[in-house]
C-alpha cells in the first residue's frame, strides 16, 4: 500500500513540474533587439623600413651582380626609362673591371624618406671616394586590412657609380669610357607606351599614355579620331575606350600617365579559315590627342581584333637605326660619323648610345681600348618620343703611334623599346 502511495505522489509531482515548464511566463518572453552595426576598425599601418635598408640591398645586389633583384629595387618611373638589359650590360662592365663598393656611409638622417646622401668607396684599379644622392620613395599597398610600405630607389644611380670621376658631381660634358654624360631632354615628351595591341573578342586590355614635362600644369587626353580601313568612322559600338583620370596634374620633371582600357565585344568576329580559326575581322586606328599647356600631341594606337594574331604584325613599327659601317683614316687623323635613330613606334623614354672596342665583328664582349685609339659619342642620349628622328655624333681619333690595322667598335643602343647592337670597322693606315 505504501508503495502505491509513493508511486501516485511521484506521478502527481512529475505532472506538476512538467506543466510548469510548458507554461511560458510573460516575464520570460524576449523581444528581438536591433543591434547597431559596429564600425570597422581602421586598418593597421606598418612602420616602413628606413631608406638605409634599401641602400644596403642595393649595394649587396650590385656587388653580387644580381640583375633581377637589383632591377626590382628601382621605382616604376626609373624602370620606364631603363631596361633590364641595360642594367645587365652595366653589371657586366662592372664585373669585367672588378668594380665593387667596398665601403659606404650615410651622411645625415638614416630614417627620413627622400634624398639620402651616401658616401661610398668604390674599388676599381684604385679606391675612389664619391658622394652620391640616392632618392628613396615609398609605395603603399594593402593586404588583410594591413597597410604596408615598400621602398624603391628613384634614380638611375648606376651611371654615378660606374663613372670613375672623383669629382663630387658629374660635369655635363664629362666622358666615361666611350660616351659623354649629357642627355638631351626637351620641354615636353609624350606618347603611348604601346602602339599595337592585339585583342581576342570579349577581351579587355590596358595600356598607357605618358607625359614628361619641365613645367607643371593640367593635361587632358581624349580620343580624337577613330579610323578603319583608312577612313574616319564614328565610335564603333563593339569597342569601348576608357581614359583615367579625366584630367592629370603634371609635376615638373616627373613621369605621369593616363590609363587607357580597351573592352571588346565578344560577338564581333565572323567564322573563317585563317590560322584554323577566326579571320582577322576588325582593325582600328585610335588617335589620341593630348592637350597640355597650349600644346597638342597626337599618337595612334593600332588595334587588331582577332582570335589569332598575324605573325610579325606587332613588330612592324619597331625603331630603325642607320650609320656607316666603315671608317678609313691614317694614324694621327680623326673622323666623325652620324648615328641616326628613327624612333617610329618606340614608347617615350631615354635612349642611350655607347661605343666600345671588341675583338671581331658581331662580338659584344668589351676589350680594353687600344692605346692610341679613342672614341667619343655625343650626346650620351636623348629623351625620345614616338615618330621622331635623333642623331648622335661618333668621333674616332687616332694617334700617330697607333699600329695600322682593322679595329672593330660595337655600338650599343639602349632604349625603352629595345636594346640593340651594331658594328663599325676602323681601317687605320700609315
Q: What's the CATH number where 263 sits?
A: 2.60.40.10
Q: Does one domain contain both 251 and 308?
A: yes
The SS3 call for residue 216 is coil
pLDDT tens, N- to C-terminus, the chain (430 residues): 455 555 555 555 454 544 444 444 444 444 444 445 555 666 677 778 888 888 889 989 999 999 888 998 998 878 877 778 788 888 888 887 888 888 888 876 555 555 667 777 787 667 778 778 788 888 877 766 788 888 898 888 888 788 643 333 332 222 333 444 478 999 999 999 999 999 988 899 999 999 999 999 999 999 999 998 888 888 777 889 999 999 999 999 888 999 999 998 887 665 443 444 445 578 899 999 999 988 999 999 999 988 888 888 888 899 999 999 999 999 999 999 999 999 999 999 889 899 999 999 999 888 999 999 999 999 989 999 999 999 999 999 999 999 999 999 999 998 877 778 999 999 999 8
DSSP letters of 57-77? HHHHHHHHT-HHHHHHTB-HH
Is 28 contained in some domain?
Answer: no
The domain that contains 53 carries what CATH number?
3.10.450.50
Q: Does one domain contain both 310 and 328?
A: no
The SS3 call for residue 78 is helix
- What's residue 183's pLDDT? 83
**Joined grid coordinates for residue 218:** 593640367
Q: Does one domain contain both 286 and 379?
A: no
Question: Is residue 414 within 8 Å of 319, Cβ to Cβ?
Answer: no
Is 371 contained in some domain?
Answer: yes
Q: Does one domain contain both 88 and 146?
A: yes
Q: Does one domain contain both 310 and 324?
A: no
Cα separation, 379 vs 394, in Å, equals: 9
- What's residue 112's pLDDT? 53
Is 176 contained in some domain?
Answer: no
The SS3 call for residue 139 is strand
| pTM higher than the cut 0.75 | no
- Which residue(s) pair with 335 in the sheet? 396
Q: Does one domain contain both 75 and 125?
A: yes
Write the Ramachandran bin of 372: left for phi over 0, alpha for psi from -120 to 50, otherwise beta.
Answer: left
- What's residue 41's pLDDT? 64
Range of the domain at 392: 320-429
Q: Does one domain contain both 216 and 304?
A: yes
Q: Does one domain contain both 289 and 369?
A: no
Is 38 contained in some domain?
Answer: no
- What's residue 387's pLDDT? 95
Q: Which of 315, 331, 351 is the last residue of a domain?
A: 315
Q: Does one domain contain both 325 and 272?
A: no
Is 390 contained in some domain?
Answer: yes
**Beta-sheet pairing, 183-184 with 381-384:** parallel
| Displacement of CA 171 from its chain's centroid (Å) | 27
Cα separation, 115 vs 283, in Å, equals: 47
Q: Which of 108, 135, 170 is the last residue of a domain?
A: 170
Q: Please return the burial class of 19, using the count of CB atoms within 10 Å of its CB with bins 0-12, 13-18 and 19+.
A: exposed
Q: Does one domain contain both 359 and 257?
A: no
Is 368 contained in some domain?
Answer: yes
Domain count for the chain, please give it: 3
Q: Which of 267, 282, 315 is the last residue of a domain?
A: 315
Cα separation, 376 vs 355, in Å, equals: 8
Q: Does one domain contain both 307 and 377?
A: no
Write the Ramachandran bin of 229: left for phi over 0, alpha for psi from -120 to 50, otherwise beta.
Answer: left
Using only the alpha carbons of the chain, give its radius of gyration: 34
Q: Does one domain contain both 293 and 408?
A: no
Amino acid at each position: 500500500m505504501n508503495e502505491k502511495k509513493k508511486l501516485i505522489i511521484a506521478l502527481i509531482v512529475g505532472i506538476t513540474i512538467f506543466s510548469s515548464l510548458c507554461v511560458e511566463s510573460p516575464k520570460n518572453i524576449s523581444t528581438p533587439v536591433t543591434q547597431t552595426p559596429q564600425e570597422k576598425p581602421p586598418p593597421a599601418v606598418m612602420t616602413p623600413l628606413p631608406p638605409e635598408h634599401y641602400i644596403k640591398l642595393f649595394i649587396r645586389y650590385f656587388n653580387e651582380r644580381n640583375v633581377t633583384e637589383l632591377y626590382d629595387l628601382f621605382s616604376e618611373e626609373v624602370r620606364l626609362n631603363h631596361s633590364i638589359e641595360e642594367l645587365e650590360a652595366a653589371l657586366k662592365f662592372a664585373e669585367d673591371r672588378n668594380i665593387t663598393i667596398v665601403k659606404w656611409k650615410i651622411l645625415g638622417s638614416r630614417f627620413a624618406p627622400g634624398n639620402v646622401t651616401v658616401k661610398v668607396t668604390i674599388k676599381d684599379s684604385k679606391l675612389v671616394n664619391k658622394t652620391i644622392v640616392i632618392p628613396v620613395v615609398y609605395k603603399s599597398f594593402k593586404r588583410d586590412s594591413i597597410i604596408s610600405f615598400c621602398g624603391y630607389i628613384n634614380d638611375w644611380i648606376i651611371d654615378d657609380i660606374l663613372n670613375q670621376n672623383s669629382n663630387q658631381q658629374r660635369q655635363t660634358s664629362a666622358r666615361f669610357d666611350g660616351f659623354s654624360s649629357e642627355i638631351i631632354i626637351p620641354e615636353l615628351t609624350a606618347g603611348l607606351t604601346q602602339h599595337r595591341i592585339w585583342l581576342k573578342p570579349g577581351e579587355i586590355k590596358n595600356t598607357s599614355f605618358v607625359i614628361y614635362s619641365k613645367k607643371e600644369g593640367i593635361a587632358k587626353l581624349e580620343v580624337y579620331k577613330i579610323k578603319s580601313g583608312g577612313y574616319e568612322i564614328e565610335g564603333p559600338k563593339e569597342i569601348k575606350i576608357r581614359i583615367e583620370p579625366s584630367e592629370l596634374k603634371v609635376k615638373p620633371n616627373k613621369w605621369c600617365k593616363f590609363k587607357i582600357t580597351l573592352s571588346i565585344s565578344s560577338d564581333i568576329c565572323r567564322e573563317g579559315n585563317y590560322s584554323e580559326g577566326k579571320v582577322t575581322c576588325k582593325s582600328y586606328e585610335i588617335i589620341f590627342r593630348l592637350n597640355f599647356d597650349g600644346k597638342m600631341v597626337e599618337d595612334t594606337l593600332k588595334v587588331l581584333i582577332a582570335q589569332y594574331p598575324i605573325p610579325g604584325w606587332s613588330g612592324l613599327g619597331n625603331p630603325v637605326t642607320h650609320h656607316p659601317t666603315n671608317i678609313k683614316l691614317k694614324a694621327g687623323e680623326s673622323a666623325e660619323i652620324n648615328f641616326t635613330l628613327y624612333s617610329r613606334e618606340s614608347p617615350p623614354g631615354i635612349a642611350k648610345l655607347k661605343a666600345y672596342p671588341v675583338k671581331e665583328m658581331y662580338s659584344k664582349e668589351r676589350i680594353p681600348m687600344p692605346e692610341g685609339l679613342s672614341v667619343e659619342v655625343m650626346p650620351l642620349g636623348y629623351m625620345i618620343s614616338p615618330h621622331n628622328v635623333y642623331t648622335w655624333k661618333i668621333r674616332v681619333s687616332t694617334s700617330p703611334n697607333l699600329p695600322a690595322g682593322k679595329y672593330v667598335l660595337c655600338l650599343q643602343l639602349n632604349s625603352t623599346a629595345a636594346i640593340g647592337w651594331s658594328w663599325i670597322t676602323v681601317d687605320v693606315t700609315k
